[in-house]
Structure 1
Protein backbone atom coordinates (compact mmCIF):
# COMPACT_ATOMS: atom_id res chain seq x y z
CA UNK A 1 0.00 0.00 0.00
CA UNK A 2 1.48 3.28 -1.02
CA UNK A 3 1.83 6.14 1.41
CA UNK A 4 1.33 8.64 -1.40
CA UNK A 5 -2.00 7.11 -2.46
CA UNK A 6 -3.27 7.08 1.13
CA UNK A 7 -2.20 10.72 1.61
CA UNK A 8 -4.01 11.72 -1.60
CA UNK A 9 -7.20 10.03 -0.43
CA UNK A 10 -6.95 11.61 3.03
CA UNK A 11 -6.43 15.06 1.54
CA UNK A 12 -9.31 14.68 -0.92
CA UNK A 13 -11.70 13.08 1.56
CA UNK A 14 -11.12 15.24 4.62
CA UNK A 15 -9.77 18.40 3.02
CA UNK A 16 -6.63 18.38 5.16
CA UNK A 17 -3.28 19.80 4.16
CA UNK A 18 -0.11 17.88 3.42
CA UNK A 19 1.30 18.12 6.98
CA UNK A 20 -1.93 16.75 8.46
CA UNK A 21 -2.08 13.94 5.90
CA UNK A 22 1.53 12.99 6.64
CA UNK A 23 0.75 12.86 10.35
CA UNK A 24 -2.25 10.55 9.84
CA UNK A 25 -0.89 8.23 7.13
CA UNK A 26 1.33 6.36 9.59
CA UNK A 27 -1.67 5.60 11.77
CA UNK A 28 -3.71 4.43 8.79
CA UNK A 29 -0.96 2.12 7.56
CA UNK A 30 -0.40 0.72 11.08
CA UNK A 31 -4.17 0.09 11.38
CA UNK A 32 -4.20 2.40 14.40
CA UNK A 33 -6.47 5.11 12.95
CA UNK A 34 -9.92 5.12 14.51
CA UNK A 35 -13.27 6.82 14.30
CA UNK A 36 -16.91 5.93 14.11
CA UNK A 37 -17.80 2.89 12.03
CA UNK A 38 -19.59 5.00 9.36
CA UNK A 39 -16.56 7.32 9.09
CA UNK A 40 -14.14 4.43 8.77
CA UNK A 41 -16.41 2.66 6.29
CA UNK A 42 -16.48 5.80 4.16
CA UNK A 43 -12.69 6.12 4.30
CA UNK A 44 -12.25 2.42 3.49
CA UNK A 45 -14.52 2.78 0.42
CA UNK A 46 -12.50 5.78 -0.77
CA UNK A 47 -9.22 3.89 -0.27
CA UNK A 48 -10.53 0.83 -2.11
CA UNK A 49 -11.63 3.11 -4.94
CA UNK A 50 -8.03 4.32 -5.17
CA UNK A 51 -6.72 0.74 -5.33
CA UNK A 52 -5.77 0.29 -1.67
CA UNK A 53 -6.92 -2.84 0.15
CA UNK A 54 -8.85 -1.38 3.11
CA UNK A 55 -11.45 -2.69 5.54
CA UNK A 56 -13.37 -0.91 8.29
CA UNK A 57 -13.71 -3.15 11.34
CA UNK A 58 -14.63 -2.84 14.98
CA UNK A 59 -11.72 -3.31 17.39
Structure 2
Protein backbone atom coordinates (compact mmCIF):
# COMPACT_ATOMS: atom_id res chain seq x y z
CA UNK A 1 0.00 0.00 0.00
CA UNK A 2 1.54 3.26 -1.04
CA UNK A 3 0.50 6.57 -2.57
CA UNK A 4 -3.12 5.86 -1.55
CA UNK A 5 -3.32 2.83 -3.81
CA UNK A 6 -2.73 -0.91 -3.70
CA UNK A 7 -0.22 -2.93 -5.69
CA UNK A 8 0.46 -6.65 -5.78
CA UNK A 9 3.38 -8.74 -6.94
CA UNK A 10 4.27 -12.41 -7.08
CA UNK A 11 7.31 -14.43 -8.02
CA UNK A 12 7.55 -18.16 -8.65
CA UNK A 13 10.46 -20.49 -9.36
CA UNK A 14 10.01 -23.93 -10.88
CA UNK A 15 11.52 -26.59 -8.64
CA UNK A 16 12.28 -28.77 -11.66
CA UNK A 17 13.98 -26.45 -14.15
CA UNK A 18 14.64 -23.31 -12.10
CA UNK A 19 12.69 -21.09 -14.49
CA UNK A 20 11.39 -17.99 -12.71
CA UNK A 21 8.45 -15.71 -13.41
CA UNK A 22 7.37 -12.44 -11.84
CA UNK A 23 4.15 -10.50 -12.20
CA UNK A 24 2.75 -7.34 -10.64
CA UNK A 25 -0.06 -4.86 -11.04
CA UNK A 26 -2.60 -2.64 -9.40
CA UNK A 27 -5.81 -4.63 -9.94
CA UNK A 28 -5.56 -7.88 -7.98
CA UNK A 29 -6.63 -10.83 -10.18
CA UNK A 30 -9.80 -12.52 -8.92
CA UNK A 31 -8.19 -15.91 -8.29
CA UNK A 32 -5.39 -14.32 -6.24
CA UNK A 33 -7.94 -12.35 -4.20
CA UNK A 34 -9.98 -15.49 -3.54
CA UNK A 35 -6.83 -17.36 -2.48
CA UNK A 36 -5.89 -14.58 -0.04
CA UNK A 37 -9.39 -14.61 1.43
CA UNK A 38 -9.33 -18.41 1.75
CA UNK A 39 -5.91 -18.41 3.44
CA UNK A 40 -6.32 -15.38 5.72
CA UNK A 41 -10.05 -14.87 6.07
CA UNK A 42 -11.95 -11.69 5.36
CA UNK A 43 -11.19 -8.40 7.04
CA UNK A 44 -14.18 -6.31 8.08
CA UNK A 45 -14.53 -2.53 8.01
CA UNK A 46 -15.78 -1.23 11.36
CA UNK A 47 -17.05 2.31 11.69
CA UNK A 48 -17.26 4.39 14.85
CA UNK A 49 -20.59 4.61 16.65
CA UNK A 50 -21.33 8.14 15.46
CA UNK A 51 -20.30 8.73 11.86
CA UNK A 52 -21.22 11.19 9.14
CA UNK A 53 -23.08 8.89 6.75
CA UNK A 54 -22.68 11.36 3.88
CA UNK A 55 -18.89 11.38 4.29
CA UNK A 56 -18.84 7.57 4.39
CA UNK A 57 -21.01 7.38 1.27
CA UNK A 58 -18.71 9.78 -0.61
CA UNK A 59 -15.63 7.71 0.26
CA UNK A 60 -17.38 4.43 -0.62
CA UNK A 61 -18.55 5.79 -3.97
CA UNK A 62 -15.15 7.23 -4.87
CA UNK A 63 -13.08 4.28 -3.60
CA UNK A 64 -15.24 1.39 -4.78
CA UNK A 65 -16.78 2.97 -7.87
CA UNK A 66 -20.31 2.49 -6.55
CA UNK A 67 -23.55 4.22 -7.37
CA UNK A 68 -25.57 5.92 -4.64
CA UNK A 69 -27.83 2.92 -3.96
CA UNK A 70 -24.91 0.50 -3.94
CA UNK A 71 -22.95 2.68 -1.51
CA UNK A 72 -25.99 2.91 0.77
CA UNK A 73 -26.32 -0.89 0.72
CA UNK A 74 -22.63 -1.32 1.63
CA UNK A 75 -23.01 1.20 4.45
CA UNK A 76 -26.04 -0.69 5.79
CA UNK A 77 -24.68 -4.24 5.52
CA UNK A 78 -20.96 -3.61 6.02
CA UNK A 79 -17.88 -4.18 3.91
CA UNK A 80 -15.35 -6.98 3.92
CA UNK A 81 -12.36 -7.88 1.80
CA UNK A 82 -8.66 -8.54 2.00
CA UNK A 83 -6.73 -6.79 4.77
CA UNK A 84 -5.00 -4.34 2.38
CA UNK A 85 -8.30 -3.48 0.64
CA UNK A 86 -10.12 -2.77 3.88
CA UNK A 87 -7.20 -0.95 5.51
CA UNK A 88 -6.93 1.39 2.51
CA UNK A 89 -10.66 2.13 2.75
CA UNK A 90 -10.37 2.73 6.52
CA UNK A 91 -7.45 5.13 5.94
CA UNK A 92 -9.44 7.07 3.36
CA UNK A 93 -12.34 7.33 5.81
CA UNK A 94 -10.07 8.51 8.64
CA UNK A 95 -8.67 11.24 6.36
CA UNK A 96 -12.17 12.74 6.13
CA UNK A 97 -12.73 12.45 9.88
CA UNK A 98 -14.65 9.17 10.04
CA UNK A 99 -13.59 6.74 12.75
CA UNK A 100 -12.84 3.50 10.90
CA UNK A 101 -10.71 0.41 11.51
CA UNK A 102 -9.96 -2.78 9.63
CA UNK A 103 -10.62 -5.87 11.76
CA UNK A 104 -8.66 -8.83 10.41
CA UNK A 105 -10.11 -12.32 10.62
CA UNK A 106 -13.63 -11.02 11.25
CA UNK A 107 -15.03 -13.22 8.49
CA UNK A 108 -13.60 -16.49 9.83
| TM range, smaller chain | 0.7 to 0.9
Return structure 1 stretches of 4+ with deviation > 2 angstroms: none
Alignment-derived partner of residue 19 in structure 1:
69
Higher strand share: 2
Higher helix share: 1
- From 58, 62, 65, give the equivalent of 1:8: 58
* Secondary structure class of the residue paired with 1:55: strand
In the TM superposition, 1:26-45 aligns within 5 A as 26-28=76-78, 33-45=79-91
Residue ranges of structure 2 left out of the alignment (5+ in a row): 1-50
Larger Rg: 2
* Secondary structure class of the residue paired with 1:42: helix
> What TM-score do you get using the length of structure 2 for normalisation?
0.48
Residue ranges of structure 1 left out of the alignment (5+ in a row): none
Count how many residue pairs are aligned between Structure 1 and Structure 2. Answer: 55
> What TM-score do you get using the length of structure 1 for normalisation?
0.84
Instruction: Return the offset for 1:22.
Output: 0.8
